[in-house]
Each structure stands twice: as C-alpha cells, then as structure tokens.
Amino acid sequence: MYLQKTSGRRPCAAITAALLAAIQLSAAETPAQPQTKKQTQPQKQTQQKPAAPASTAAADIPEVVITATMTDTESWRTASSVTVIDRKKIEENQYRFAVDALRNVPGMAIATPGVPGNVATVMTRGTTTKDTALMIDGRPLPANLAGSFNLETMALDNVERIEVLRGPAASLYGGRTMGGVINIITRSGKGLEKPRTTVFAETGSYGTIREGISSLGAIGKMDWGFEASRTDMQGQRINSRFSQTNMSGKAGYQFTDSLRFDLDARHYTANAGDPRTTDINDPDNHLLTEFWSISPRLVWNTTSKWTQSLTFSHSQFRQVATGYNDPPFFLPNNRTSSRTDFIEYKSVIQMMDKWTLTAGAWFQDQKISRYNDTAQMIDISQAQTNFALFLQSQAELFKGFNLINGIRYDKYSDFDNAFTWRSGVSYMVPRVNTVLHANYGTAYTPPTPQDLTPVFGGNPALVNPERSRGYEAGIMQPLFKNKLSLRATFFRNDLSNTYQYPPPAFIPMAIGSATTQGLESGLDWNPCAMFGLNLSYTYLDAYDNTNMARLVRRPRHSISGGIRFQPVKDVTFNLNALYVIDREDYDPITFAQIDQKDYLSVRLSANWRVNEHLDLFARVENLLGQPYYEIPGYPVMSTGAYAGLRLRF
C-alpha cells in the first residue's frame, strides 16, 4: 500500500552474499541459466515523473489507485483490496502478456492450456472467468461467447500499470464483477519535456522472436503514446505455433486548461494453433482472432471542484476456427463476430474538502453472431443492451476514518434488471499507522451467449443473473519506517443461481448456491535499495453447496513470492516463484473429478541498463523444468530461455 524510497547499501551485505549463493545454486541446477548471465535489462523504464535520487531518505508515498472508486484515491482509503503492477514491475520481470503479470496476484488463480495464445482461465477469489471484468483505461472490454476477455493475447508493451480490484464491484461497474475488476492503464506522453522512442528485439526458446517500437511525447497542447509489436513462436507441442501483430495508442489534446480530448485506438490479430489435449494432438486446429476499437473521451472541469467526462467506444471482434473435424458438436469450424458500442457519462463533484460524489450513466449495446461452416448456417445470433445509473459517496468523517457507499441500477433488454450496492470503511490508526478496512457489496453476472444458446446446451429462457454477496475485512501494518509491511484480508462470497459446465456434455448445469471464502496474506520487505522481498499466501475454500463438492480448478493453497536483487547500480535480478497446492479438476479421459498434482513454477529475470540508450535483458521461465498441468491434459512448456535488447532515443 506504500512505495518506499531507501538509501544505503552496507546493511544489505549479508543479504547480498546469501542471494548470490542462491542464484549460483539455481544456475548449477538449470542448463539454460548460462544464457542469462550476460544479458540484462534496465531497472528504470519510461515514467511520467522522474524517480527520486538514491540518496533520498526513506519516505512514505501513498499509493494512488483509480479502479476502486473511479477517482484518484489513496489505496488505503478505498476500503478495498487492490493490487498494482506498475511499469517498473512489468519491465523488471519482463512480463509480455497480461496473464504473465497476473499470476502472482493474491486471490487470483490463472490456468492456461500451455499453448501460447489459447484461452486463459482467470478465477478471482474462487469465482469464474466471466465474473471478473476487464477494462482498458476504465473502458469495459467486450466479452466473448463464454464471457471471457482474451487476456492471453493482451500485450503489455504500451501499459503503464495494471490495477486488480478484488471483491464485488457491481455498484460502479455493473455485471461480470462478482470477482472484481482488472483495469489496464496505458501509457501517455503527457508532461514529457521531449519525445521518447524505444525499439526492442527479443529471441529465445521454441522459436520465439519478438520485436516492437513505441513512442511517447508531447508537443505544445498535444501528447501521444503509441506502440506496435510482433510476436512469433513455434511452440513446443505439435501445432502450437503462435503469431500476433499488436498496435495500440492514444493521443490527447488540451484545448484549454479546463477542457481535454483523448482518443484511444487499438488493433491486434493473432493466429494460434490448438492441438488440444495430449491424447488428441490435433495437427490442424487453428484459431484466428482479430480485434479493433476506437474510443474518444472528453473531460472538462466545469469548476475547480466539478469534473465531467463523456466516453464513447466502438469495438469489433472476430474469430475464425478451422481444422475442427473431430466429433464434439461444440467445436465445428465457425466464424464468430461481435460488435459493441459503449457510452458513459461521469460527474465527480467535490462537495467539501473531504467529501466527493461520483455519479454517472452508461449505455452498452452488443451483438454477437456465429456462422457454423460445418453446418452451413448461422447458429448463434444475439443482441443485448444495458442501461445503468450509478452514484457513489466518499467521505472522511474524521481524520483517518473513511466511509464509502455506492449504489447502481442496471436495466437489461434480455435479462432481469439488477440493483447493487456497496458499503466500505477504512481507518488508519494514529501514530502506529495500522490500516483497518471492511467492505460489503452485492454483485451479479448476467448469462453469457454460451449460457443462452442451444448450440452449447444453453437455455434461451435463462433471464435470472447469477448473484453474490461479498464480504471482506483486513488489516495492514507498516513497520520500520515502511520498510516492512504486513497484510491480511479475510473474504467470503455467497453465490446464488450459479451453474457449471461439467463433462462429458459440457452443458450448463445449475448448482444453486456456492460459497468461496478464504484468507489473503503477505508481506513486503525493502530493507535497502539493493534488496527487496515480497511473499503472499492465499487460502481458498470454494464449495458447491448443492452437490457437496469442491469447485474445480480452484487451488486451496497458493504461495507466491519474489526476490529483487541489485548487486550494482543498473543491474537487477528478479527471482519469482508460484507454488499451487491442493486442487481438483476433471480427468480428461474418465471425466471424474479428481485431485491434481501440485506444481512449482519459478521464473528468473536479469536486467542491465548499459547506458541511457541501451538495455540488455534475459530471463528463464519454468526455471526448474518441472512438467506440470494447469489444466488436465494440457502440459505447460518446459524450461525456456530468452534474451534481448532495448534501444532508447
């Protein structure tokens, strides 16, 4: 919840020696490691504000987030659980796609088929993928047939930070937020004194080649932030080739001190092989996806205490599936397309110095269709509209005590309407700076096109959304001038009208009610500038109350952590690990729900800022080479080593 600035290296001498020994031991055990010793990347990446000098004494810098309240708010005041993955973390850990960055978020479980570019499962606090909304700069990304958002193809080359809000968020963002919200905030050149251009190239295992270019800058009243990148991978399994071309950017113009215009645009195409399970190893299945969007936004300050904004977004998505000639009826060759229009008006009024009201309205219209090439017919055609009004109050009733309340009403064309609310409180205890917070909120997830269409065994008459009541209560304690921070949060979601897709038919089956509850805990330790440690532990109990069985694919125990080590200036090592324990899933042959093997995933990255213009970097993924399955039948790739360079102008 705080960022630290520290100085001094001598107190870390013992830590340095121990960590060097650990890295040497890892290198001895991993054949691919020598490839990473000579190439490293920068500690610093383009930031809108320069970092403080190394001599600055330790200071408290409150972390400001947007997603929890729709306004810039110090994280501890939001009464919510928010994890921030900033640009520095993205660069130091060399995260290339959103799924890579999200794996170590407390309370969030990621499962992929092990083949690049294939659909990723995201489970926040035990909820399903369709229960966590994905946004880009506060604009909701349209969902696909199953209600997910193709995070596996979301490149991070032009991303400034990712904010992950855990817990019910429907009072602000409407449906598909029983688990929370992922808000991807892109980079901007606003405030830069001169333009910056960056070119990068990377190569590595499994025929991986990546290259890209980005530009940030401002001239007069205009600013911009653009990037373009290309990724090609041969993959490890048969038919696991992946290629993607990605372009995105935004331009801004400050007409007057009180009036600003922004334009966001993005486009990508991705082609991924889909061999499916190791028992099938299909050599022909391919998925071609394409997405583009354009979104203007107008922001104006009516007065010094009243800000309004108007946002419009138009997006289109298409997917072409070819080579699917096997018997399962839900995998024919097909062409799926969707068109989404979104309009939001938002008003933020500072009623008093410590009281802010946020109100707004939005309208979303989506049309999804699918042409079945195998049957030569349109087998899915749906159009849905959603209109909503929302209101939120943020107030500091007395010093350190914050109260947040919000309500929202959603009206749907095809489903039952929904009324949701949230109430949260946070308090910072004087002198000791202990932060206490509690939060309660209702949320819901409307049926997806997959839930409704008979093609997938869905029910066209399904109009009652899944609903949840979510609770959380937590504590955060900074120690030793914020060099050490301890945290723990208990959470619980009571779900109703929910359902699963059990094998072998994989058609919706109502399970009535379910409960997900657990504990997120962790620590952050930054004793000096050259060393940092973070550790998180999540306990999760996700249970189908109707059938008295565990919900599949949710690990009961997740332990993640990382060590950051900077032995000399401009050289940084990061060692991250994720240990997943005790989960159940369906056997790909018998379809029985059985225990799955625990797994440990380790990632090592090295970064060297040679000078202000050149960075070298390298990393090793799956460092231990452990064969494991995040989804039964789909093995992850073995140890891979990657290296590259970045040029700045």
Which residue ranges in the chain fall short of pLDDT 70?
1-61, 326-330, 505
Q: How far apart are CA 228 and CA 266, in angstroms?
A: 10
CB distance 216 to 210 below 8 Å:
no
Q: Is 398 in contact with 430 (CB distance < 8 Å)?
A: no
Amino acid, single-letter form, for residue 161: R
Quick: pLDDT tens for 303-345: 999 999 999 999 999 999 999 876 554 578 999 999 999 999 9
Task: Specify the DSSP class assigned to residue 175.
Answer: S
Query: Do 507 and 501 touch, CB atoms closer than 8 A?
Result: yes
Distance CA 420, CA 485 (A): 33
The DSSP annotation for 446-506 comes to PPPHHHH-GGGT--TT----EEEEEEEEEEEEEETTTTEEEEEEEEEEEEEEEEE--TTTT
Would residue 376 be called left, alpha or beta, if left means φ above 0 and alpha means ψ between -120 and 50 degrees? left
CA distance 598 to 159: 32
Q: Rounded to whole angstroms, how far apart are CA atoms 564 and 527?
A: 11
Residue 60 has a pLDDT of 54
Tell me, rounded to whole angstroms, the distance of Cα 421 from its chain centroid: 24
Return all residues near 525 (Cβ < 8 A) that are at least 6 apart.
483, 484, 485, 532, 533, 534
The alpha carbon of residue 555 and the mean position of all alpha carbons in its chain are separated, in whole angstroms, by 18
The C-alpha atoms of residue 119 and residue 110 are separated, in whole angstroms, by 11
Helix, strand, or coil here: 126? coil
Query: For the domain that residue 286 is a member of, what is the CATH number?
Result: 2.40.170.20
Place of tokens 């960590």: 19
Polymer length of the chain: 649
**310: Cα within 13 Å, side-chain hemisphere:** 3
Cα–Cα nearest to 447, from 554, 366, 533, 523: 366
DSSP 506: T
| Of residues 132, 185, 139, the one with CA closest to residue 158 | 185
Kindly give, in sequence order, each residue whose CB lies less than 8 Å from that of residue 235, ignoring residues fewer than 6 positions away. 115, 116, 206, 207, 241, 242, 273, 637
Assigned token pair, 516 = 């997900």
What whole-number distance in Å separates Cα of residue 85 and Cα of residue 454?
Answer: 40
* Residue in 467, 524, 532, 521 with CA at minimum distance from that of residue 499: 467
The count of domains in the chain is: 1
625, 30 Cβ separation under 8 angstroms: yes
d(CA 631, CA 235): 17
- Coil/strand/helix, residue 311: strand
Structure tokens at 278: 């190791």
Q: How far is CA 402 from CA 83, 422, 435, 442, in A?
A: 20, 14, 11, 20
Contact status, residue 158 vs residue 265, Cβ threshold 8 Å: no
pLDDT tens sequence across 270-288: 999 999 999 899 999 999 9
The SS3 assignment for 178 reads coil
Q: What is the pLDDT of residue 630?
A: 96
* Nearest CA among 493, 524, 531 for reference residue 124: 493
Enclosing domain of residue 90: 2-648
Report pLDDT for 9.
Answer: 43
Q: Which residue has the tokens 């920068």?
A: 42
Nearest Cα neighbor of 114 from 276, 351, 284, 348 is 276
| Other Cβ atoms closer than 10 A to 255 | 11
**Residue 583: predicted pLDDT:** 97
Cα gap 420→213, rounded to integer Å? 43
Tell me if 210 sits within 8 A of 230, measured CB to CB: yes
Distance, CA of 441 to CA of 420 (rounded, Å) = 7
Q: H or E stretch including 444?
A: strand 435-445
